[in-house]
Amino acid sequence: MCDDVLLELVQNQDRKTGDYNDFWDERNYVKDAENVEASVFVVHGLHDWNTKTKHFSQWWEALGENDVDRKLWLHQGEHEEPDYHDWQETKHRWFDYWLYGIENGIMDEPIVDVQREDGTWHQQDDWPQDETTLHFKAGTDGESGILSVDSIVNNPMDTEYFLDNQSMRDDEIIDDIELSNSDRLAYLSPELTEQVRISGTPEIKIEASIDRPVTNLTALLVDYDGESPEIITRGWMDPQNLESSSESVPLTPNQEYTFTWDMQPHDYVFEPRNQIGIVLDQSDWGEFQYTIRPDPGAELTVLPALSELTLPIVGDDDALRVTADSMESLVESLEEEGEFGNSDDARSLMLHLTSVSHYENQEEAEKVVKHMEEGFQDLLEYQRDNELISERAYNTLIAHTDYLIKKWQ
């Protein structure tokens, strides 16, 4: 009975090119947000890969731009309604106010409710959060590159490349994320010193060239705990839609372009000592086939110095910042927690970091690297070998040392 309708849908959606056309425009209610007269209660599962989070996010922001009374609930489920007492109670209060005029205080509360990973609910005044930019730096010595909120030493002409290997699933692509891989590029933040929460839409921008007219672009945002990387969200771009979403134009092979695209919005907390990672891939498939797959083997060449990741971070970005000054503060905290044999051991490390801070301020990269490699790192290893520092403090400081060296090399 529905065969004709389904056939029409398949034909008109234009899966082959993915171009925006009249079929999609007719179904695009976001562009009509200015006509909304009713209040709107938006609810969405943060793990819904059917109706993806970009759908609620674009709708939510369009409603705000048109001064529509609105409320947002984001829960930890998938394509389903929250099955929680608090949700049912809030829904009834919303309708009691808007349908029956009962003054129950719901419009005096924060308009956004977000469920955290542990099941607890938190309120905030708006969504999404402001954006923080992280810069790329190419990897060296068989390791992945780094992400930094600070300006970093970068040769603008450095390039990295990888091939489109369509035999690899997403869980294989992110395996050994700390190491370089010819089938993808990866960049990691320092180990976080405290929780980092994102609340909104991550955006990726890369300066790159492709050796053929057609391929896919994929970005995976990853939470890395040192053992098992986890994909938090992802996003895709068809480079042929660089100039227009409604018309595919083949690329000129080996010509540099600036590609910018969004990932699916999310609200997520990265825990202390974990790292935030970004993985660049081409065709993306795993549990779902997220992209169509043109002929494999396309080579993508990226200029890391001209590429960046933008994250909607709640609060400041101090947990992502590694400098000699931040490491000195870290040593002080570790000393207060009793992680050194005595205060002299901590003080000797801080003296080294004071010198390194001076060289950082002068942007003397070679001296920063030399003092961290030949002074600070050697002293750390001496303290470890002689049991003058705890294993926890050593592991934390050596990870930050490695990162700071990479940042300035």
Q: Which of 59, 73, 52 is nearest to 124 (CA)?
A: 73
Specify the number of domains making up the chain.
3
pLDDT at 389 exceeding the cut of 90: yes
Output the pLDDT for position 1: 63
* pLDDT tens track for 356-383: 999 999 999 999 999 999 999 999 999 9
The string of DSSP letters for 254-300 reads T--EEEEEEPPPEEEEEPTT-EEEEEEESS-BSSSB-S---SS--EE
Output the pLDDT for position 369: 94
- 392: tokens are 């926890």
Q: Is residue 346 part of a domain?
A: yes
pLDDT at 303 exceeding the cut of 70: yes
Q: Which of 82, 166, 148, 81 is nearest to 307 (CA)?
A: 148
Q: Which of 155, 156, 173, 153 is nearest to 164 (CA)?
A: 173
Q: Is residue 230 part of a domain?
A: yes
The model scores a pTM over 0.75: yes
CB-based contacts of 224: which residues, under 8 Å, 6+ apart?
A: 177, 178, 188, 230, 274, 275, 276, 277
Q: Residue 114 and residue 77: Cα distance in Å, rounded?
A: 12
Q: Is residue 89 part of a domain?
A: yes
Burial class (CB in 10 A: 0-12, 13-18, 19+), 315: middle
Q: Which of 320, 353, 384 is the last residue of a domain?
A: 320
Output the pLDDT for position 8: 85
Tell me what the mean pLDDT of segment 213-233 comes to: 94
Q: Is residue 10 part of a domain?
A: no
Q: Specify whether 255 is located in the same domain as 377.
A: no
Q: Specify whether 94 is located in the same domain as 175.
A: no
3-state helix, strand, coil in the chain (%, to 5): 35, 25, 40
Output the pLDDT for position 160: 95
Tell me what the mean pLDDT of segment 3-13 comes to: 86
Q: Specify whether 175 is located in the same domain as 293.
A: yes
Residue with the two structure tokens 């050593």: 394
Dihedrals phi, psi of 206, to nearest 5 degrees = -130, 145
* pLDDT tens track for 141-182: 889 999 999 877 777 888 999 998 877 888 898 999 999 989
Domain that holds residue 140: 132-320
Q: Specify whether 344 is located in the same domain as 402.
A: yes
Q: Specify whether 160 is located in the same domain as 299.
A: yes
pLDDT at 212 exceeding the cut of 90: yes
Q: Is residue 63 part of a domain?
A: yes
Q: Specify whether 286 is located in the same domain as 378.
A: no
* pLDDT tens track for 178-203: 999 899 999 999 999 999 999 999 99
Q: Specify whether 170 is located in the same domain as 90.
A: no
Q: Indicate the average pLDDT of the chain.
A: 92
Q: Residue 184 and residue 287: Cα distance in Å, rounded?
A: 19
Output the pLDDT for position 166: 79
* pLDDT tens track for 248-298: 999 999 999 999 999 999 999 999 999 999 999 998 776 667 777 777 889
Q: Specify whether 180 is located in the same domain as 259.
A: yes
Q: Which of 69, 98, 124 is the last residue of a domain?
A: 124
Q: Specify whether 192 is located in the same domain as 222.
A: yes
Q: What percent of the chain lies above the pLDDT cut of 90?
A: 76
Q: Is residue 22 part of a domain?
A: no
Residue with the two structure tokens 């926890």: 392
Output the pLDDT for position 310: 97
Q: Residue 73 and residue 127: Cα distance in Å, rounded?
A: 11
The string of DSSP letters for 157-226 reads T--EEEE--TT--HHHHTTTTTB-BTTBEEEEPPPPSS-EEEEE--EEEEEEEESSS---EEEEEEEE-S
Q: What percent of the chain lies above the pLDDT cut of 70?
A: 99
Q: Specify whether 303 is located in the same domain as 290.
A: yes
Q: Which of 23, 21, 20, 18 is nearest to 8 (CA)?
A: 23
Output the pLDDT for position 178: 92
Q: Is residue 341 part of a domain?
A: yes
Q: Specify whether 41 is located in the same domain as 169.
A: no
Tell me what the mean pLDDT of segment 320-349 comes to: 93
CB-based contacts of 383: which residues, under 8 Å, 6+ apart?
A: 340, 341, 345, 349, 389, 394
Q: Which of 254, 285, 320 is the last residue of a domain?
A: 320
Q: Specify whether 298 is located in the same domain as 280.
A: yes
Domain of 145, CATH number, reads 2.60.120.260
Q: Is residue 281 part of a domain?
A: yes
Output the pLDDT for position 290: 77
Output the pLDDT for position 74: 96
